[in-house]
Amino acid sequence: MNKPMLQVNNITKQFPGVKALDRVSIDLYEGEVLCIAGENGAGKSTLIKILSGVFMLDEGEIILNDEKVNIKNPLTAIELGFSVVYQEHRLINNLTVAENIYFGRFPMKRGFVDYRKLNDDAQQILNRLGMNIRASELVSSLGSSQSQMVEIAKALSVGAKIMILDEPSAAITDSELEKLFEIIKDLKSEGQSFIYISHRLKELFEIGDRVAVLKDGKLVGVEKVSDIDTKKIISMMVGRDLGEVYRPKDREIKEEVLRVENLTNDIVHDCSFTVRAGEIVGFSGLVGSGRSELAESVFGYRKRRAGDIFVDGRKVRIRTPKDAIANGMGFITEDRKTTGVILNKSVAVNTTFAILDKLSRAGFVNTREEKVLVDNYIKKLKIKTPSDKQEAQFLSGGNQQKVILAKWLLTESKFLICDEPTKGIDVGTKQEFYNILDDLARQGIAIMLISSELPEIVGLSNRVYVMQEGRIVKELMEDEISEETITTYSMHEME
Amino acid sequence: MKIKNTFMNLIGNNDPASKFNRKKMLTTLSPVIGLVALFILASSLSNVFLTASNLTNVLRQVSVLGFAALGMTIVIITGNIDLSIIGNVSMSTTLVAVLLQNGWDVVPMILVVLLASSTIGLLNGLIISYFKIESFVITMGMQVVCFGLSLFIAGGRTVIVDNLAPFMLNLASNKLGMIPVMFIILLGFYTVFYIFTKKTKMGRYIYALGGNEEVSYVSGVNVTIVRTTAYILSGLMAGVAGIFTFSRSLCGDPAAGSALGMYVVAAVVIGGTKMSGGRGSVLFTIIGILIIGIINNTLNLVGFEYYAQQIIQGLIIIFAVVISSKKRR
Amino acid sequence: MKIKNTFMNLIGNNDPASKFNRKKMLTTLSPVIGLVALFILASSLSNVFLTASNLTNVLRQVSVLGFAALGMTIVIITGNIDLSIIGNVSMSTTLVAVLLQNGWDVVPMILVVLLASSTIGLLNGLIISYFKIESFVITMGMQVVCFGLSLFIAGGRTVIVDNLAPFMLNLASNKLGMIPVMFIILLGFYTVFYIFTKKTKMGRYIYALGGNEEVSYVSGVNVTIVRTTAYILSGLMAGVAGIFTFSRSLCGDPAAGSALGMYVVAAVVIGGTKMSGGRGSVLFTIIGILIIGIINNTLNLVGFEYYAQQIIQGLIIIFAVVISSKKRR
Amino acid sequence: AKEAEPTSTTGEDFLIGISQPFMGHPIRQAGTVLINAWLEEHPDVEVMVTDGQLNAAKQIADIEDMITKKVDIILVAAHQSPTLVGVLREAKAAGIPVIAFDRTLTDPSVQVGMVVNDDYAAGASAAQLLVDKLGGKGNIVVLQGPAGNTTVTLRQDGFLSVVNKYPDIKIVDDQVANFQRVQAVDVFENILQANPDIDGIYCHNDEMALGCVKVLKDAGITDIITVGIDGQKDALEAIMAGDYYGTIRKVVEFPAALDMALEYLKTGKTTSMNYLDSIPITKENVEQYYDPDAVF
Ligand SMILES: Nc1ncnc2c1ncn2[C@@H]1O[C@H](COP(=O)(O)OP(=O)(O)OP(=O)(O)O)[C@@H](O)[C@H]1O
Ligand SMILES: Nc1ncnc2c1ncn2[C@@H]1O[C@H](COP(=O)(O)OP(=O)(O)OP(=O)(O)O)[C@@H](O)[C@H]1O
Ligand SMILES: [Mg+2]
Ligand SMILES: [Mg+2]
C-alpha cells in the first residue's frame, strides 16, 4: 500500500440550492475496501455518481493510475474499470436475470447472443451468492431484496478493478451479507479495490480497511478501521454522541388491534398473527421469506385467496389500500420508487399526500396548515432539502425515505405497518425514528415492524414472528428474542 | 419582486429565493419565449399580422382548439391521453345542430350536449381503469365510435339549422372591445381549471396519478375515480368545443372535429406539459394554442406554396417542442 | 413438452418450468384467442368470408399495414412512438411513382426510396435522442413534413406511371398457391425482425431501452444509437410499405399513407405490445394486422351502413385491446 | 410569394383571394397551373391561395385571414358549403365580393357570381350513363367519397334521383372509399367477394373508379360497367383503352373564375352566372376531350 491507484482531488459538485460536494479529496489503494459514511444527504452517492460518469464534476480532478482521467459518461467509467451498484434499484424488469447480469457484455456466438453460455455463467454467479433463483427468470418476478442481490451479482460479474457498492445491504439480511463479504474478501486478495457505503456501521468494521466520513459535502476525515470504533464514527458523522440507541421496552400492552387468520395467496401461506395496542411486533426472515408480501396482503395491496382480518375484534373487508386506511391502517412500504414517493412531486405534496382528506375544506387544500405540518417533519426527521417545494427526485435516497416516514406518521393510524422503514437512513435519524415509534406505541398504536436489520428487530420488538417461505414458523416472546434465536428459526429447515 | 413572486406562484413555484428556481423558471418560461419569437417573426413576415383585426381573428380561431386542448391537458397530466376528443367534438357539433333544428331551446340543448360528451369521457375513464389498459388505443377506438355516432346523428350529411336563436347566431362573432367573447369564455375556463388543478384535493390527485399511480393507490386514493374525473372533464370540454364549433360555422358538420386533428396534443406539449404525466400546467396550454394559431395564420398571410406550408408547419411544431422541452440529463 | 418449450421460446420466455408461465402464456395468447373469435364471427356473418379467394384478399390487404406495423412495433418496444410512418409511406409511394415515371430501373429506385424513408427515421431518432423529448409530437410534426414532401414530390397530383416494368406490375398480384407473394415477403420480414429482436445484441438493447432507459445508459449502452436504429428500421419499413402501396394501385397518391391512419398503432397494441415499452413481440403484431384486416373485410362483406361500420369498428378495436391486455394488479 | 399592399391604391393592383378546399387532388393542382398561367398575363394581379386541408374550420379561418388581409375579392370552392355561410357574410359586410367556383354556396346572396360544376347534375348524368348502358336493369355498387362531405352528398343525391326511377336497378352495396384510389382497391376487392353478380359500378370520382378498374383487370373481369365523375386525363386514357366505361366531365374553373373576378373588380358587374355543363364522356366522344398536354 504505497501509491494510491485512484486519487480524487478537491472535487466540488454544486446542485441548484445545494453544494453536494465541497473540495473532497479521497485516495483508494489497490486491494483495499474504503468505506464511506455520513448522514443522509452528505454527498456519498454524488461522489460515486461522479466516479461512474452519471454526473460531471464542477471542479477538481480524478487521477487513476497516475493519469488524469475525464469521466464524461458511464461508458468511460466502465472502460476505465469501475463497476457500480447504485443505491436506487437499477435493473431492467423486462429482461431475464441473466441478461441483466451481463447487460452490455452479452457473450456472442456467430453474431447472436449465446444464451446457453449467458445463462450458465449467470447461474454460477447466482449460486456463488447463494441465491435460490433461476438465471432465466424475468427480473419483474423478483422481490425487491432479490433484485438487489442480482444487482450485486451484476457488479461482481464484471470483475472490475474498482467496485463501488452504494448501500448494497439496505434490506438484505445477514446471511446474504455474509456471502457478499466472503466474495469481497476473495476478490480483495486478488487485488481488486472496493468503495463501500452503508449506514449499518457494524458492517464497516467487518469489511472495511479505512473509513472516510462526509458531512454536508465536506470530508471530515479518513481513519483506519483498526484505529476507531462506532462511537467515534458517529461523532464524526453527527458531530455529537448519540447515547443509547434503543429505549427500554416497558410499554403498556393493551387490547388486540389486529388479528389475521389463515391468510393465504400465491406467496403467503396460512399466516395467522395478532398485533395489540402499545405493542411493536417484529417480522423476521430471510430475503424472499414473504414478509413484505404478508404486509401487502393485509393492507389490501395484494390479492388474498383466503383468510380473515379483524380490526378491534370486528371482521373487516379489506380489498384495496383505501379499505385498509379507512380501517385505521398505515403502511410504510418497502420500495421507495414504486410505492413510496412520487418522484416529480415536491416534498410537501408527498408528505401530506395521505392526509389530504383531513387537510382540505370544501375540496380545497389548506396550504397554510400544510406548510406547518411539513416544516415540522422536515425539522423532526432532519430532512435535508432546500425547501418543501423541492421535488423528491432531487433528494438523496435516505431523505426520500424520511419523506415516506413523515407521510405515514402524519396519518396517525392506529395500526402502522413499517416495511424496512429505516432503509438507507443514517444513524442519527434512525434513533429519532425509533423514539417516535416507541412514543407511538406508548400512545396505544399497534405496530408491525418488518426489518432485515436484526438489531432493530431485537431492540424494538415486544414479540417477533419468524417467517420462512411464506409461512410463519415461529412466534418469539419478548424474553426469547435475540439475534441468535431469530437466525436459528429463519434458517431452520422445514421438513 | 412582488410581481416575480406572483409569477412564480403562477407557475407553481413558491420558492423564489433559490438559484435552482431561476433555472426552472427559465425552462418553464421557454414556451413563452417561443411565442414571443414567433410573434416577432410573424410581424416581420407580414405587415397585416399586427393589425387589431387580425389579432382578433387569431384569438377567435384558436378558441375551439383551446377548449379541446384544456381537456387534453388534464388527461395528459394524469399520464394518459384522450384521442377521442376529436370524435367527441364532431359528435357534439352535430348534436347541437340536430337539437336546435328540432326546435330545442339553447339551455336544455347545452345541457344535453354536455351530458352526452361527458358520458363519452366517463366511458373512456371506466374502461381504461377497469381493464387497466393503455389509453391510446382505447380512446382511438372511441374516436371512431364517436365519428360513427356523429354520422348517425347527422344522418350522414351536414345539418343545416333554419331559425337560429340570436344567442347561437352571435356566439362566435360577439366581441368585448377587440377580444372575442369566445376567447374570454375560454380564459374563464382556463382560470377555473387552473385553480382546480393547483388548489383542490382532486387536482393534486390528478397530478399525483400522472406522477406515480402506484403511490396514489397505496395511499388510499381511488385511482379509478381520479382518472375518470379527468376523462369526464375532457369529454365536457369536447362538448363545449363542439358548441363553439357549431357557433363558428352555424351548421353541424359530422367531420367537424377532424380539423383539430393533431393540434390538440401538439398544443398541450408545446405548452410544456409532459406526456409522461405529472408535470405541466393548464395555463401554459394557452401559449401552445396561440403558437399553433399564429403559425397557421401567418402561413396564410404570407402565402407560401401549399406544400411548403405543410413542411414549414411541421418544422415549426418540431422546433416549438424542442424549445419547450429541456434536456433531462 | 418439446412443442410447448418451442412455443414458450417463441413468445419470448425461456423458462418453461415456472408456475407463472402458464398464466403468462394465457395472457400472451389472448390476441390469438381474439383472432380466432373474430374469425368465427366473420364466417358466421358472411358465407363468403371463408372462401379461399376472400382469404387471399385479406392477406393482400393487410400486407401494407403489416410492413408499417412491423416498424412501429420496434419503435414501440423502445418505449417511443412513430407517428411519422403514415407520412413516410405517402412520401415513399410518390417517390416510387416519380422515379419510375422518370425511367429509373427497379433496383436503384428501391434503393433510393429506402434511403429516403430511412433518413426520415434517422432524423426522428436523432432529434428525439439529442433533445431528449417525447417522440409523440416530434414524429407528428415529421408526419406533416412528410406529407408536405410527398405533395412536393408528386406535384400535388396522383402520379401516373406509363411503362411499368413487369416486376412492379405484378408485385401485388403474384401468388404462391393461394398466398399472395406480398404476404410471404411480409412473413419473411417478420421472421428476420423476430430473430433480430430476440437473438441479437441490438435487439436486446431495443427491449432494454423500453424497459429502463436509465439502466441502459449507466450500463454503458449508447441509447442514442439504439433508439435511432429503431427509428431507422421503422423508416425503412415505411419505405417498403410505400413500395407495396404503389404496387397495389400502380400510381403515386400523395395521401396514400393516410389510409393506414390509426390502424398501425392499433395493430401493434392489439398484438399485445405495450406502449409503455419493453414488452411485446413483433410476431404478435401479425395477429394484430390480421384482426384489423378481418374487421374491415367483414364490414365490407356484410355491408352495414357506413356510420354503423364506424361504430362497430371502434367497438371491436376497443374490445380487441381489452382482450389482449391483462389486469396488472 | 410576395405580400401585396392591403388595399389597391392606384386602382390598378388587385389582390385576389382563392380559397381551395384541399390541394391534394389533381384538379386543384391543375387549377394552380392554370392560375399561374393567367397571372403571367395579368401582372397587375396577385393572388393569395389557401389550402383548407379538407376541413371546414381551417377554411373558415382561411377566409377570415383573407378578410383581415383585405383582399379585393374572394374566390371560394367550399369544402362544406353550409359551414361557410357565416364567414362569407362577414366578408360581404367587410365589403369584399365573393365568387363561388367549383361548388355552389348554401347562401347565394353573398356571391356576385359563380363558375361552378353542378355536382347534383353530374351524379344524375353518371346515373343515366350507367343505366342506359345496363339497359335499365342490373346490380350496381356505389363507392362514395368522405362521409358527410357536401360534394359527396350532391353526387349521391343526383345519382339516386335517376336510379330510383328504375325499379330493376338494384344497389347491392354502397361503401365509402374516401375519394382515394388505394382505398377503393381494398374496398372493391371485398365487395367483389360478397357480390359476384355485379353489373355496374358508380364511383363518386375517377380516382376511385380507376381503383376499381384495376381490381377488375387483375381479376380478368370484363363485363362490369364502371362509371365515375371528373374526366381526369388518365381516366380518359383508360376509357380510350376500353378499361373504363365512362365519366362525367368536370371543368377546371380557371381561368374563367379569374376572368369573372377581374371583370367584377374593374366594372362592378359580372356577365354570367353559369353552371358548367356536366358532359358524359365515353369511348364514342373521348377523342374530342382528350388532350395529351392537359394539366388535368
Ligand atoms: N440530481 C440532484 N439535483 C439536485 N440536488 C441533488 C441531486 N442529487 C443529489 N442532490 C442533493 O445533493 C446532496 C447530496 O446527495 P447524495 O445523494 O450524494 O447524498 P448521500 O450521502 O448519498 O445520502 P443518502 O445517505 O441519503 O443516500 C443532497 O442534499 C441532495 O438533496
Ligand atoms: N411482483 C412479484 N411477482 C411475482 N413474485 C414476486 C413478486 N414480488 C415478490 N415475489 C416473490 O415473493 C417472494 C418473497 O419476496 P420478497 O423478497 O419481497 O420477500 P420478503 O420476505 O419481503 O423479503 P424482503 O423484505 O427482504 O424483500 C419471492 O419468492 C419473490 O420471488
Ligand atoms: Mg446516497
Ligand atoms: Mg420485503
For atom 17 of ligand 1, the residue with the nearest CA is A396
| Domain extent listing, chain C | 56-260
The whole-angstrom distance between C325's CA and the closest CA on chain B is 6
Three-class SS state of B60? helix
Q: Which tens digit of pLDDT belongs to each residue from A180-198?
A: 899 899 999 988 999 999 9
Radius of gyration of chain A (CA): 23
| Per-residue model confidence (pLDDT) at position B19 | 43
Chains C, D in contact, 3 or more Cβ pairs below 8 Å: yes
CA of A171 to the centre of ligand 3 (A): 15
Of the partner residues C131, C315, C322, the one whose CB lies closest to the CB of residue B133? C322
As for the ipTM of the complex, it is 0.89
Neighbours of ion ligand 4 (CB under 5 A): A 292, 334
Contact A262, A298 (CB under 8 A): no
* Residue from A192, A152, A190, A157 nearest A171 by CA: A152
Tallying the residues shown for chain C, one arrives at 329
Q: How confident is the model at residue B31 (pLDDT cuts 50, 70, 90)?
A: confident
D222 touches chain B (CB under 8 A): no
| Per-residue model confidence (pLDDT) at position D52 | 86
The whole-angstrom distance between A111's CA and the closest CA on chain C is 7
Contacting partners of chain B (3+ CB pairs under 8 A): A, C, D
Q: Which tens digit of pLDDT belongs to each residue from A335-380?
A: 888 899 999 999 999 999 999 999 999 999 999 999 999 999 999 8
Ligand nearest to the CA of A302: 2
Contact B211, B37 (CB under 8 A): no
Q: Among positive and negative, which fits the CA dihedral C250, C256, C259, C264?
A: positive
Cell of A255: 387490547
- Range with lowest mean pLDDT among A281-290, B270-279, D21-30, D68-77: D21-30
Q: Which tens digit of pLDDT belongs to each residue from B115-165?
A: 999 999 999 999 999 998 889 999 999 999 999 999 999 988 888 888 888
Q: Which domains, ranges and CATH numbers included, belong to chain A?
A: 6-238 (3.40.50.300), 256-491 (3.40.50.300)
Three-class SS state of B275? coil
Beta-strand ranges (E) seen in chain C are 159-160, 175-176, 179-180, 251-252
Q: How far apart are CA D269 and CA D267, in angstroms?
A: 5
Three-class SS state of D196? coil
The whole-angstrom distance between B319's CA and the closest CA on chain C is 9
| Per-residue model confidence (pLDDT) at position A493 | 60
Decide whether any atom of ligand 2 lies within 6 Å of the A452 Cβ.
Answer: yes
The whole-angstrom distance between C6's CA and the closest CA on chain D is 36
CA of B67 to the centre of ligand 3 (A): 45
Q: How far apart are CA B34 and CA B30, in angstroms?
A: 6
- Range with lowest mean pLDDT among A387-401, C104-118, D18-32: D18-32
Shortest CA distance from A394: residue in chain B: B20
Cell of B266: 401538439
Q: Among positive and negative, which fits the CA dihedral B292, B297, B303, B307?
A: positive
* Residue from A367, B221, A99, A164 nearest C201 by CA: A99
Interface contact D147-C256, CB threshold 8 A: no
Three-class SS state of D4? coil
| pLDDT tens digits in sequence order for chain C, 329 residues long | 344 444 444 444 444 344 445 556 666 778 888 889 899 999 999 888 999 889 998 999 899 999 999 999 999 999 999 999 999 999 999 999 999 999 999 999 999 999 999 999 999 999 999 988 889 999 999 999 999 999 899 887 778 887 888 888 888 888 888 899 999 999 999 999 999 999 999 999 999 999 999 999 999 999 999 999 999 999 999 999 999 999 988 888 888 888 888 899 999 999 989 998 998 999 999 999 999 999 989 988 887 888 898 899 999 999 988 887 764 33
Residues whose CB falls within 8 Å of the CB of residue A183, separated by 6 or more in sequence, listed in order: A128, A129, A156
Query: Average pLDDT for residues A123-148, to the nearest whole number?
Result: 88
Q: Which tens digit of pLDDT belongs to each residue from D139-163?
A: 999 999 988 778 898 999 999 999 9
Q: How far apart are CA A377 and CA B297, in angstroms?
A: 53
CA of B208 to the centre of ligand 1 (A): 23
Interface contact A17-B205, CB threshold 8 A: no
A368 touches chain B (CB under 8 A): no
H-run or E-run covering D169: strand D169-176
Interface contact A52-C221, CB threshold 8 A: no
| Per-residue model confidence (pLDDT) at position C29 | 77
Decide whether any atom of ligand 1 lies within 6 Å of the A297 Cβ.
Answer: no
Decide whether any atom of ligand 2 lies within 6 Å of the A144 Cβ.
Answer: yes
For atom 16 of ligand 2, the residue with the nearest CA is A288
Contact D52, D58 (CB under 8 A): yes
State yes or no: pLDDT of D248 exceeds 90: yes
- Report residue A268 CA to chain centroid gap: 23
| Per-residue model confidence (pLDDT) at position D58 | 85
B191 touches chain A (CB under 8 A): no
| Per-residue model confidence (pLDDT) at position B258 | 83
CB atoms within 10 A of CB A421: 25
A75 touches chain C (CB under 8 A): yes
CA of B272 to the centre of ligand 2 (A): 39
* Residue from B154, C262, C140 nearest D56 by CA: B154
Q: What is the 3-state secondary structure (H, E, C) of chain A?
A: CCCCCEEEEEEEEEECCEEEEEEEEEEECCCCEEEEEECCCCCHHHHHHHHCCCCCCCEEEEEECCEEECCCCHHHHHHHCEEEECCCCCCCCCCEHHHHHCCCCCCEECCEECHHHHHHHHHHHHHHCCCCCCCCCEHHHCCHHHHHHHHHHHHHHHCCCEEEEECCCCCCCHHHHHHHHHHHHHHHHCCCEEEEECCCHHHHHHHCCEEEEEECCEEEEEEEHHHCCHHHHHHHHHCCCCCCCCCCCCCCCCCEEEEEEEEECCCCCCEEEEEECCCEEEEEECCCCCHHHHHHHHCCCCCCCEEEEEECCEEECCCCHHHHHHCCEEEECCCHHHHHCCCCCEHHHHHCHHHHHHHEECCEECHHHHHHHHHHHHHHCCCCCCCCCCEHHHCCHHHHHHHHHHHHHHCCCCEEEEECCCCCCCHHHHHHHHHHHHHHHHCCCEEEEECCCHHHHHHHCCEEEEEECCEEEEEECHHHCCHHHHHHHHHCCCC
For atom 11 of ligand 2, the residue with the nearest CA is A143
